[in-house]
Structure 1
């Protein structure tokens, strides 16, 4: 699995109980063998993209606040592809 998608999967695990869409995206990352974050993003529905657009800015900021620049960078990679 692409390292970026590994970070995304870990992040999504925090949203699987509260949001069914979070669970759906988590399962998609977990079950599919995407070779890049670009392929993953192209496989998302508009609803899934909207959800990620809502959660990723906060998750990126949290990673920065925790001084986890690697995580912030990797999550930002996905966020930028959503547009």
Structure 2
């Protein structure tokens, strides 16, 4: 699994497994993506919307904790979504 997607999977594990979050986690667990771009292109509209809502808070938290690597990796996914 792509290093960036590992951070995404870890971040999503903190959320209630709504149906949308559950589908995203299943994608990450069942299929191997070579990079975050390949992953983002497989997402459905509601999954993109979910990540657009969740990732800004996760990125902010990572930077507040001075975990710059995690923050930058999550930001890479977020940039592909917008």
TM-score after normalising by structure 2:
0.95
Count of equivalent residues:
82
Where do 5+ consecutive residues of structure 2 fail to align? none
Q: Answer yes or no: is the 8 Å Cα contact 1:12–1:23 preserved in 2.
A: no
Report the CA distance shift for 1:19/1:67 in structure 2 as closer, same or farther (over 3 A). same
- The CA RMSD measured in Å over matched residues stands at 0.9
Aligned to 1:24: 23
Runs of 4 or more consecutive aligned structure 1 residues displaced over 2 Å after TM superposition = none
- The structural deviation recorded for 1:9 is 0.5
Whole-Å separation in 1 of the counterparts to 2:2 and 2:40:
13
Report the CA distance shift for 1:35/1:80 in structure 2 as closer, same or farther (over 3 A). same
TM-score after normalising by structure 1:
0.94
